[in-house]
Amino acid sequence: MSTADLAPGTRPSHKRPAHLPLRTCVGCRERRSKWEMIRLCRTGETMDLDPEGKAAGRGAYICAKMECWEAAKRRRALQRALRLPAGVPVPGRVAGLVAGMISNSTPETGWGPAQGPEEVLSRS
Ligand SMILES: [Zn+2]
């Protein structure tokens, strides 16, 4: 007798369901499909937006939500995720691009570039 009988419906092909790569948001720590998130990448000693999600090197993901972006900036989570010194500021250009991507769905936030209290340079 053979034990190789397959139950009906069981196919020997190893076709897995499409694997969704999950990434953790550095703002809210929730995990989502990377396709729903905004990726930032480290470039040298600073960071940049990675709109296509395929820049080489270390990356950080956030949900496309202003609260996550604010939390990430407030907690310096981007710097930590990208292994940058905590004192490295989020470049105003990057902040503007991210805010633009987020506010595509909520155009009434009145968000302006580089106006958060974190952006104020207190150096004299
Ligand atoms: Zn989030």
**Ligand 1 mean position to 8 CA, how many Å?**
43
Span 18-70, pLDDT tens digits = 778 899 999 999 999 998 999 999 999 999 999 888 898 899 999 999 999 99
DSSP string, the chain: --S-PPPTT--S---PPPPPPEEEBTTT--EEEGGGEEEEEEETTEEEE-TTS--SS-EEEEES-HHHHHHHHHTTHHHHHTT--TTPPPPHHHHHHHHHHHTTT-TTS---TT-SGGG-----
75 CA to centre of ligand 1 in angstroms:
13
Q: Which residue has the higher pLDDT, 96 or 116?
A: 96
Q: Which CATH superfamily is domain 22-107 in?
A: YlxR-like (3.30.1230.10)
Distance 12 CA to ligand 1 centre (A): 39
Summary mean pLDDT of the chain? 83
Q: How far is the CA of 44 from the centre of ligand 1 (A)?
A: 25
